[in-house]
Amino acid sequence: MKKPETPAVPRHVAIIMDGNNRWAKRRMLPGVAGHKAGVSAVRAVIKTCAEAGVEVLTLFAFSSENWQRPADEVSALMELFLLALRREARKLNDNGIQLRIIGDRSRFHPELQAAMQQAEALTAKNTRFVLQVAANYGGQWDIVQAAQQLARRVQRGELQPDGITAENLQACLMGADLPLPDLCIRTGGEHRISNFLLWQLAYAELYFSELFWPDFKQEAMRAALADYASRQRRFGMTSEQVEGKTC
């Protein structure tokens, strides 16, 4: 059976935005300055992806492990997140971009939770592009909450244990109605996925950049997209099968 060749443009790009603190330290600035500088990179990457024809962009903004960072840094991040939501939501809406936020919101301040809901509601009908932000998100947490949903269905008698499949577990994950990520980018020179979209990234192409996130702008994003376009995605098959030489 012939498998389609790698599309020139990924439908879904996921990014681990790493290196804000190190960017700031190299400039003898506080860590929060790096996070503020990273906002301009977010704008640049959104613009580049949308222009290239990417349908979904998922950004790892705050992991479930990031609460372990110094309290003053976490507080500054929460303030920056709130400010960004209020400042950027209207711009996203004006550009036809739908905002979604995935993760466990229960730990966030009620004011921040309300701002999330308002920004999502404002942009909910937009169809040009989906920006998905992972906040207090962890891949292991995502799989656990999906398993809990299925367990409750079993408990109610709606599903038999042997009826649990990869497909119905995947349907319970965050962003299940969106295409799976085709390309995962990590900036900052680290080569790991750090508990990000563990299930969803099973067959994603991985791309690692030495650039710190605030320096990852249009040119760097275009380079990542070009690298993706040069690859062949085999999904466990051989090159010959993908190319249609064998069946």
Q: Which domain holds residue 75?
A: 12-242
* Distance separating alpha carbons of residues 239 and 245, to the nearest angstrom: 9
Residues 6+ apart with CB under 8 A from 74: 66, 67
Least confident of 53-57, 89-93, 96-100, 231-235: 231-235
- This prediction has a pTM of 0.91
Report if residue 3 sits inside a domain.
no
Distance CA 183, CA 53 (A): 14
Q: Give the mean pLDDT of 1-22.
A: 83
Report the distance separating Cα 140 and Cα 182, nearest Å: 20
Residue 4 lies in a domain: no
Q: Which residues contact 83 (CB under 8 A, 6 or more apart)?
A: none
Given a cut of 50, is residue 247 above it in pLDDT?
A: no
- pLDDT (tens digit, 9 = 90+) per residue, 89-99? 999 999 999 99
**Residue 18 annotated in active site:** yes
111 domain residue, yes or no: yes
Per-position DSSP letters for 178-210, written without gaps between them: SPPPSEEEE-TT----TTSSTTTTTT-EEEE-S
Catalytic residue among 20, 21, 66, 72: 66
The answer to whether 45 and 131 are in contact (CB under 8 A) is no
Catalytic residue selected from 18, 21, 136, 142: 18
Is 66 annotated as catalytic? yes
Inside any domain, residue 86:
yes
Q: What is the mean pLDDT of the chain?
A: 93
Count of domains for the chain: 1
Quick check: is 1 in a domain? no
What's the CATH number where 89 sits?
Answer: 3.40.1180.10
